[in-house]
Amino acid sequence: MINAGIVGGTGYTGVELLRILVQHPKVKLKVITSRQEAGTGVDELFSSLRGQIALKFSDPAKVDFSKCDVVFFATPNGIAMQQAKALLDSGIKVIDLAADFRIKDVAEWEKWYGMTHAAPELVAEAVYGLPEVNREKIRDARLIANPGCYPTAVQLGFIPLIEAGAVDADHLIADTKSGVSGAGRKAEIHTLYAEASDNFKSYAVPGHRHLPEIRQGLSERSNGPIGLTFVPHLTPMIRGIHATLYARLTRDVDLQTLYENRYANEPFVDVLPAGSHPETRSVRGSNFCRIAVHRPGNGDTAVILSVTDNLVKGAAGQAVQNMNIMYGLPETTGIRHVPLLP
Q: Which residues bind ligand NAP (CB under 6 A)?
A: 7-14, 34-37, 60, 74-77, 79, 97-98, 148-149, 181-182, 184-186, 310-311, 314-315
Specify the residue, 65 or 259, whose C-beta has the smaller distance to ligand NAP: 65
Specify the residue, 8 or 258, whose C-beta has the smaller distance to ligand NAP: 8
Q: Report the nearest approach of ligand NAP to the CB of residue 83 (Å).
A: 9
H or E stretch at 33: strand 27-33
Give 185's DSSP letter.
S
Q: Report the nearest approach of ligand NAP to the CB of residue 73 (Å).
A: 8
Q: Report the nearest approach of ligand NAP to the CB of residue 127 (Å).
A: 16
- The alpha carbon of residue 240 and the mean position of all alpha carbons in its chain are separated, in whole angstroms, by 12
Q: Report the nearest approach of ligand NAP to the CB of residue 225 (Å).
A: 25
- Which positions ≥6 away from 18 have C-beta within 8 Å? 6, 9, 29, 32, 42, 46, 49, 53
Set 149, 167, 283, 319: catalytic member: 149
Rg (CA), the chain: 19
Rounded (10°) angle between helices 131-139 and 317-326: 40
Specify the residue, 57 or 259, whose C-beta has the smaller distance to ligand NAP: 57
The answer to whether the Cα torsion of 177, 138, 321, 273 is positive or negative is positive
Specify the residue, 106 or 183, whose C-beta has the smaller distance to ligand NAP: 183
Distances (CA, A) of 208 to 111, 232, 309: 12, 8, 20
Question: Which residue number has the CB closest to ligand NAP?
Answer: 11
Q: Report the nearest approach of ligand NAP to the CB of residue 255 (Å).
A: 28
Exposure string for 98-112, b = 16+ CB within 10 A, e = fewer: bbbbbbeeeeebeeb
Q: From CA 318, how far away is CA 329, in angstroms rounded?
A: 14
Specify the residue, 84 or 169, whose C-beta has the smaller distance to ligand NAP: 84
Distances (CA, A) of 230 to 42, 119, 206, 213, 312: 38, 29, 9, 11, 22
Asked about 68 being catalytic, the answer comes back as: no
- Give catalytic residue positions: 149
